[in-house]
Structure 1
Amino acid sequence: MPIEGYSGWDPADVAHTAELLSKTPFDKLAEHYDPVEMDTIGVYPRIWIRDGNDSLSYLRDNYASLVEVFVHAARHRSGLVQSFG
């Protein structure tokens, strides 16, 4: 039964996502970085223009952590639970 505010990733989805993330360098994603557009559409957290170049560093650090989480879970054949709250 789904619980509002949560989403689950089964081990196969985690492994697939870990593989995709591991093969996608941050610099490739950063090519699409547009702080003005992100602020305009309200991408959380609303730091994109305010923090200037620091906001790109924020994304880089958090992307590295995201990759680590998925790779670790995949290595242990685990699923993941995501919270939207």
Structure 2
Amino acid sequence: MGVSIGFISATTEELDRAEKDPSWADDYVFTLYADDDFPRPDRPYGGPDKAWAGLQFLLDETDVRLDFLMDGFPILEDGSLFGWSAEQIESVARQLQATPWEQLAAHYAPEKMTKEDVYPNMWRFDAEGELEWLERAYEELVPFFVKAADGGYGAFMTFSF
């Protein structure tokens, strides 16, 4: 399984209700992903899945103010569901749009990432292949934030461990 992060867009009303009723939010987010119509074109969703810590390592070396584990607000006490406001989504979207992959890739340091035990700590096995994996994750993450921002959405962030 592993530790993964996922985003699915949310309206302001949904986020407000989630803050007031966390058990509703837990059921609702599950329902969004389990829906027979998933994915819906009007409800952006995206990774970074298991690449979150590797991307965080690269993002920390840039001007992008995104912290997967600290941004947003907790909905469930167990740390598995967070809410991100529409303003946060828009801010991150602008920053990610202004940050080409090459700027992140310049900070890729598989030896350092291995030494620092950056999850999932597989950087030493296929350094080039893992860089491509991070690029694919970034190429999924950026469009999620942009589409969600364009739609005026906030987001639910799931943290599975």
TM-score normalised per structure 1? 0.90
Structure 1 outlier segments of 4+, above 6 Å: none
Give CA deviations for 1:10-69 in whole Å, capped at 9, x if unaligned: 001101100100000011111111111111222122221111200110111100100011
Q: Tell me the residue number matched to 1:64.
A: 139
1:44 aligns with 2:44: no
Q: Which has the higher relative contact order, 1 or 2, with Cα contacts under 8 A spaced 6 or more apart?
A: 1
1:83 aligns with 2:161: no
Letter of the 2:98 counterpart: K
Letter of the 1:81 counterpart: F
User: Which has more radius of gyration?
Assistant: 2
Q: What is the 5 A alignment of 1:19-58? A: 19-58=94-133
Unaligned runs of 5+ in 1: none
Higher helix share: 1
Q: CA separation in 1, counterparts of 2:83 and 2:114?
A: 28
Identity of aligned residues (%): 33
TM-score normalised per structure 2? 0.50
Q: CA separation in 2, counterparts of 1:7 and 1:37?
A: 30
1:74 aligns with 2:149: yes
